[in-house]
Structure 1
């Protein structure tokens, strides 16, 4: 980040393709990929239209999506699971869309950056977001969402955290089929 210019392209099969780099584009990408109920073909067309700055697109759909997700994750290998095992779906603790007021307030308070007046590079926004201190409301909310109630022994504390999880719960975006499959897998682990 300090020695090289921030990236402005994704590489697919050795060729570079320019992408939009502003944080608003990548928040829209996140929304399309995680919260949108568009059919997959329409979602892909929307993502490509949103992210790429030129009409010429990479020919390989799968590699292109992978390259876009790499850019979204700021090329962080920590975002990828390298063990080859299918892990349980991660619990969502953040929605850039739903949590926008809390994110805006935290970035303004901590860095003095007005995200409605500035449009920083996605990598800079992610660095600012990940560097937010725990004193901000968004950090508190994410902590509530991530809290494992089974780890809380005190009944009063457990009741408090249960209420906070309910209050700040993100919508369940799984399809009915995914919910059924997850339920079956959870029951199989118990039995």
Structure 2
């Protein structure tokens, strides 16, 4: 059963092994968890433990595996993952696009995300439903998801490829990883194993 954004009360707790746990539902908390889970500088176990600490605070369930599953379900708004044979490109990165997201919320909703506490479910709903084509975030997301039709002229294809390359998230992630790797190599005294 899917969540009704108008009628259902936004959850502020989860149940793990029949025990109710209060959780941090603010979008900034969830974004920090997502950022942590995407960070290659941590091993999987560190990501899980630290994200659980952020989400549950001082009251961490004993069964960390179930606790983490509840956390992921919460982030996904308890919606089933829609399987589709077509590969979906990532069109938004909460870190790289943070300025665009901030600006879009100001333009569309007059909400200053820096000064606002907003439930993750509300934030997700608002973000997903920004549709004004004049908003820079939407323009860039559209470019990232754009398919190059074989019926386009060579000039159109070249323009789209150029825009997709300019706003590609892959290059941003590679730059971040290269910087992190060179930083840690420098910290280790340039030792390469």
Report the TM-score, using the length of structure 2 for normalisation: 0.77
Q: CA RMSD in A?
A: 2.4
Deviations 1:38-83 (A, max 9, x none): 111111111111111333314151x322211110011122x343x8
The 3 A distance-change label for structure 1 pair 58 and 139 is farther
1:32 aligns to 2:36 (yes or no): yes
Q: What residue in structure 2 maps to residue 96 of structure 1?
A: 94
Counterparts of 1:151 and 1:141, CA distance in 2 = 22
Counterparts of 1:45 and 1:120, CA distance in 2 = 24
Q: What residue in structure 2 maps to residue 147 of structure 1?
A: 146
Equivalenced residues, count: 169
Counterparts of 1:100-139 in structure 2, within 5 Å, are 100-135=98-133, 136-139=135-138
Match for residue 2 of structure 1 among 6, 12, 30: 6
Q: What residue in structure 1 maps to residue 159 of structure 2?
A: 160
Q: Runs of 5+ in structure 1 lacking a partner?
A: 176-191
Report the TM-score, using the length of structure 1 for normalisation: 0.78
The answer as to whether partners of 1:17 and 1:58 remain within 8 angstroms in 2 is no
Aligned with 1:132: secondary structure? coil
Deviations 1:132-178 (A, max 9, x none): 01421111111111122255622111111111111111136699xxx
The 3 A distance-change label for structure 1 pair 10 and 151 is farther
Counterparts of 2:73 and 2:82, CA distance in 1 = 9
Counterparts of 2:47 and 2:62, CA distance in 1 = 17
Match for residue 49 of structure 1 among 36, 48, 53: 53
The answer as to whether partners of 2:25 and 2:120 remain within 8 angstroms in 1 is yes
The 3 A distance-change label for structure 1 pair 122 and 152 is farther
Counterparts of 1:152 and 1:74, CA distance in 2 = 39
The answer as to whether partners of 1:18 and 1:54 remain within 8 angstroms in 2 is no
